[in-house]
Structure 1
Amino acid sequence: MKDPRSFSKYQEQCKEEKEKVLALGGLFILGTERHESRRIDNQLRGRSGRQGDPGESEFYLSLEDDLMRLFGSESVMVWMDRLKLPEGEPITHKWINSAIEKAQKKIEARNFGIRKSLLEFDDVMNKQRTTIYANRNKVLEIDNLKDTIMEMLHKNISEKVYEKFSPEMREDWDINGLNEYLKDFYAYEETDDKAYLRSTKEEYIERIYNALVEQYNKKEEELGSDLMRKLEKHILFDVVDNRWRGHLKSLDALRESIYLRAYGQRDPVTEYKLISSQIFEEMIATIQEQATSFLFKVVVSTEPIKDEEDEIEEAEIKEVNAENTDGLCPCGSGKPYEKCCGR
């Protein structure tokens, strides 16, 4: 709570100091340069002569300041050379004020363009972030992700088959590359090496997909449906988070180098949107591939986890037993170790 006596004391002191300032002509603002933004200059001017009080503001600057040197008109310097004024002579003219305002407008326009460009870059990342987190939230809301995993599996197998079977001639299809991929990512081995010769691409996709679904169902029977549902959610979340973090780093690196495209007469923002979209699609494909692959190759350990105290106790017993030459149990029972704690 404020002390009324202290408040009155300082209020009276401020009143006396204000009267002294007003008696001297009010607040005087001295500026040693003109700022890039006219708004800042106007704010400084506004500090003096507020609410009808007396006050004054005055700015001093050099035509060699960065504001005029980088953004000012060359005609001003030409005009100054023609006047041949002595060194240090102050210049006051409306043309100078006009040149300063034009330079400030140029800087404000440039800064606006920079902010607009940054906003366009951020908008690309924001849209991708919205897509990722919308899908992530759906995963949170769904208890059974098996259908989602199977859709990912079918899409991934389809893309890989079309990639390996791209040549028109069936004899040129890379069946060995496809088999190696299926073995590495899904632990699947084709039993009929000639099946692809008797099938269309679509038929072969369904053949592989059905075999993988059967393999997945067997794993689910071994682990149990409840555990499999938990694994699906955990692995999918983990893969999405890891790949998204890597994607953000890729976008940062792209953003730092994309301005070089301007030397090739290309719009950096347009190029950034195009390349970032391609990287985003590749990330989605990688998420689907890794998530399904991990689920097919996951191995759940059934061994009980030993507590740290149990491990220390076992180590102590082994150490004592190694020093025990008569074969008696170290617990003090007098029985042989093999018939006591060693059973």
Structure 2
Amino acid sequence: MLRQEFGRVMSQFLPGRHADDWNAEGLIDDLGQICDLPPELSHEDQVYRYSREQVEGILSDHAESACVAREEEHLTAMENLRTGIGLHAYGQRNPLDMYRAEGQKMFFELQNRIQRDVVRTLFHVTVDPVQADAVTRNATRGRRNSVGDSPMKAGTAPTATPQPGGTGKVGRNASCPCGSGRKYKRCCGKAA
């Protein structure tokens, strides 16, 4: 996800191969809002020293190292919890129960931070009308290709298709031949 976000930021602020089209200051500001900047791109002048492909490589490497560092941070916190939990045995408490309780507390704190960040960000998002129209068209096109009401059934064929002249048998879970989009057993096959 971090690499995808870096790619989006790059396409916005480094749209072409030529540095004349770039907005290095905007790139640095936007990257700084996501995470700490890589040392190679900490200043506007440094961005112009690299080609677009080099900047992309630097950001890809930084995404990997930032995720590894964050993962190690969380694992270290859990290891510190595990190490310190043994002291609860001296207080006549079950260390396993205490480890579970403290781990759960850390997890809920993480969930609360995620919720807070999502809520604070959600109402600052703006929708581009052109993109919204494209998404709507793609969703409509996808519904025409699906069978039944469930998106999980997209691309599956009905069990039996009616033949011209009414000689084919329609399966109970197949789409109704009347074109309603519902299952046969819930539409025209209900009376049968």
TM-score, normalised via structure 1 length: 0.19
TM-score, normalised via structure 2 length: 0.31
Q: Which has the higher helix share?
A: 1
Structure showing greater radius of gyration is 1
Greater RCO (Cα-Cα under 8 Å, separation 6 or more): 1
